[in-house]
Structure 1
Amino acid sequence: MSDVIWDIMKEHLDEAEFLVETWSNCVDSPKFSYAKLRAGPEERLLAHLEGLRIGGPSVVQRLLLPALSELDDDEFRSAAVCLAILHGAGVEACEQLLASFDQAEAVGHRGLVRGFSLSQRDGLVPWLGRDLDRLGPQVLASRLRIFAAHRVNAGQQLIAWLGAEDLNLQRAAAQLARHTGAPSALRLLHPMMQHEDDALRWAAIESGLIRGQMPAWLAVPREAFSRGRWQREALGWLAMLGDASVHQRLLAALRDTPTPALVWAAGLSGRPAAVDLALELLEEPRLARLAGEVVCAVAGLRDDEPDHWLDRGVRVGEAPEDGLPPLDRDDLDQAVIQSGDDKLRLPNPDALRFWWAQRRGQFDPQLRYSNGAALDLPALARSLAVVPTRRRHPLALELAARSTGRAQIATWALMGAQHRQIQDVFARLAFADFQRGLGLSVGS
């Protein structure tokens, strides 16, 4: 190949690295929907991977495989190289990739896990599962995390992994357990829900919630009201699966001691009363953006109506209270790839209160809502298609739990893969009740 072509191939790889990072930010962002992410960063990423594939075996041998020895300090470079090899290389090159994966450490290893998790190469899962018995616990744990990303049902194999002595392997197995319905394996999660290790305990609880294990639900209040590492996630689960009395308790706690975690949970409750309370927090600098998101999540307020918002979200290097940036500094390309609470738009309090006052009577206080519609299976499907990507994750988790694990959508997968999953899930699942919930025992 000419020098010009090699320059192009290197540019393809550099751009793929950039777009893996961009995609990873956009998949948990208040700025991107499913469609916008698929038609933007994801389409560009796939185009650069295809450009590398078209380069043929010489690109694999001279550019991609040599890069495997330089991966330990760059997670997104590792992911891009992994994706490029899996996208178009032959079996021998893929075997070299797998050997590097089994030997890699630290940041480079995380990048390869990311790449394997995102790849949609045919036969990937059976290939990764063919030699599990010979692997050490750390490498095996990484394989299990990839299997979890691909929604693999490991069945009875989980029993040995959940009973392993290695803590990291137990964590990965507990995470993978959400994709199996094997009662003997799920029972092994129960003691893990009390484990002193935060990561293992939460993986067991969340898998148990998805699979309808009552001990998992009983463990959630401890996590939700202890100010621990998983408090925000646990409060979210109370909001998603709790009954009206649980929602009243969450909103009372928010009224007494407003925190970002409780505002997030209020939005997941779907209750019109959560909107009422959120409107009281619109002048709170620390909570205003999240409170505005509650109005969107429950009542269906659009985040692209300029009159309702004072800025486009905080930029890197700006404090939340800085408000609307000057027009000459309004770099949309930078703004849209950010994620996190501060990247939410700052609401206009008077405008939001007027908007809600006109619509409040249309909402039944006894029902839960998503994006302005009473929450049922069709409403959830519509929400998955239109809400910002950061709000799709809890929707998918609630769907998984409401279906006791039968309907799981991997919202951290490439959008093309998610499209197929969504079509499959909603073709199979005719009904799920999103209005009834679970109560908490006295003293929880």
Structure 2
Amino acid sequence: MREHLDEAEFLVETWSNCVDSPKFSVAKLRAGPEQRLLAHLEALRVGGPIVVERLLLPALNEVDDDEFRTAAVGLAILHGAGLDACEQLLASLDRAEEVGHRGLVRGLSLSQRDGLVPWLGRDLDRLAPRVLASRLQILAAHRVNAGQRLVAWLGAEDLEVRRAAAQLARHTGAPSALHLLHPLMQHEDDALRWAAIESGLIRGQMPAWLAVAREAFSPRGGTRQREALGWLAMLGDASVHQRLLTTLRDAPTRALVWAAGLTGRPAAIDLALELLEDPRLARLAGEVVCAIAGLRDDEPDHWLDRGVRVGDADDDGLPPLDRDDLERGVIPSGDDKLRLPDPDAVRFWWARRRSQLDPRLRYSNGAALDLPALARSLAAVPTRRRHPLALELAARTTGRAQIATWALTGAQHGQIQDVFARLAFADFQRGLALPGN
């Protein structure tokens, strides 16, 4: 049984890389790392109480050793153990050090055990600040609407509690709680400020729109600049997009190329084509063409390589079953894992495609961006491009349609079905202006 736990540890880490990867669609993620992770968790469950007592619970005493090991232990306990073992898991949050604590939060955030959310929500007012912050962070991952209870947490003395509460606020429409986000959008703490801004953007708070513009165009180039530029691209109007693209043309950076892809504008492709020979930006520039116009990254005629690879893993990012062990690396995510475009081939492809795209519209994966096009993109594009699509959907619906793209795909499937069954329309073409634009 220890081998199943070792494999579960490996697959939690693999899954965590593949859920934010330029190489994986959600279907490939589900059929590869996730299916194998669930199979190993099921094998541990079948082992019964003896596995819980002799393997999983003792492993909780080693929760400070490795984040992914701890997450795997937590998932295994939650997958099939009884309530007593789950209580011991929850109690571990109080004593774990930083690395193990992150692992426990990860496992509890990913688990889909029945009854987990109400169990996590009990006795919140009697918890120490560090444990309360962890519980709120996990509840945010499960999209819990905390309503008026957020008021006390957003005003708490403990910084970690306020950070988690600001993150959780994106799932509530309570006006009193959302109003408390406004001063936090200028807080000196980076994590708190950004959580307040993102929750405010999702809930349609105008101060958040002004705050994200400050973050995006800060001369200091803060740690959240890439995300802030992305939000301007997702929610801005044509004038905001023109400002972003002009800045990109004059002083190209990775953050601006990423934002260009999120504008959905055909004009962004013309600028991206000028960067296809830039050694720093070529891979990102190729992704812009994929994101907007629908260039496929699995057509070898348009690419010079397959992106950075690790070892000799199969194309699904995992070693063959007969060599599936912890000595293998996992697929890292990031800009450098994108494929390197063939400049002449991509330019020729776009020359033939350009006339089919209206320069006045926004596009996703080759289709004018609307609700059906966004649904198709969520199913087809690489996992790293799904996160901004879900964030834009959440903001365009003022929080009524939120999909947790960092959750296990089984949970996501249910969320997607629910969202698109009840949501008839969302406008992805009109946007917000900035003062002075």
TM-score normalised per structure 1: 0.94
Secondary structure of 2:353 counterpart: helix
Give 1:131 shift.
1.3
Give 1:220 shift.
1.1
2:82 to 68, 90, 107: 90
Contact 2:5 2:44 in 1 (8 A): yes
Contact 2:226 2:259 in 1 (8 A): yes
Give 1:30 shift.
0.2
Secondary structure of 1:251 counterpart: helix
Give 1:442 shift.
1.4
1:143 to 132, 135, 143: 135
TM alignment of 1:161-310, pairs within 5 A: 161-226=153-218, 227-310=221-304
The residue aligned with 2:12 is: 20
Deviation readout 1:273-307 (Å, 9 max, x if unpaired): 00111000000000000000000000000000001
The letter for the 1-side match of 2:90 is L
Distance 1:81 1:250 in 2: 45
Q: Does the C-alpha gap of structure 1 residues 330 and 47 become closer, same or farther in structure 2, counting only changes over 3 Å?
A: closer
The residue aligned with 2:24 is: 32
Give 1:330 shift.
8.2
The residue aligned with 2:434 is: 440
Distance 2:123 2:55 in 1: 28
Deviation readout 1:44-78 (Å, 9 max, x if unpaired): 00000000000000000000000000110200000
Contact 2:21 2:382 in 1 (8 A): yes
How many residues are matched? 424
The residue aligned with 1:6 is: none
Give 1:316 shift.
5.8
Give 1:100 shift.
1.2
The residue aligned with 2:326 is: none
Give 1:338 shift.
2.3
Deviation readout 1:377-423 (Å, 9 max, x if unpaired): 00000000000000000000000000000000000000000000000
Deviation readout 1:163-197 (Å, 9 max, x if unpaired): 00111110000000000000000000000001111
Contact 1:32 1:336 in 2 (8 A): no
The letter for the 2-side match of 1:165 is E
Contact 2:361 2:368 in 1 (8 A): yes
Percent identity over the alignment?
86
2:348 to 318, 332, 354: 354
Distance 1:104 1:121 in 2: 22
Contact 2:169 2:178 in 1 (8 A): yes
Q: Does 1:375 align with 2:375?
A: no
**What is the aligned-residue RMSD (CA, Å)?**
1.3
Distance 1:25 1:274 in 2: 28
Contact 2:309 2:331 in 1 (8 A): no
The residue aligned with 1:100 is: 92
The residue aligned with 2:70 is: 78
Which runs of 5 or more residues in structure 1 are unaligned? 1-8, 318-328
1:344 to 338, 344, 348: 338
Give 1:14 shift.
0.3
Distance 1:95 1:314 in 2: 43
Distance 1:160 1:330 in 2: 49
TM alignment of 1:110-129, pairs within 5 A: 110-129=102-121
Distance 2:96 2:146 in 1: 25
Contact 1:282 1:347 in 2 (8 A): yes
The residue aligned with 2:405 is: 411
Contact 2:258 2:284 in 1 (8 A): yes
Which runs of 5 or more residues in structure 2 are unaligned? 319-328
The residue aligned with 2:388 is: 394
The runs of at least 4 aligned residues of structure 1 exceeding 3 Å deviation read 329-336
TM-score normalised per structure 2: 0.95
Secondary structure of 1:186 counterpart: helix
Give 1:102 shift.
2.2
Contact 1:278 1:294 in 2 (8 A): yes
Secondary structure of 2:147 counterpart: coil
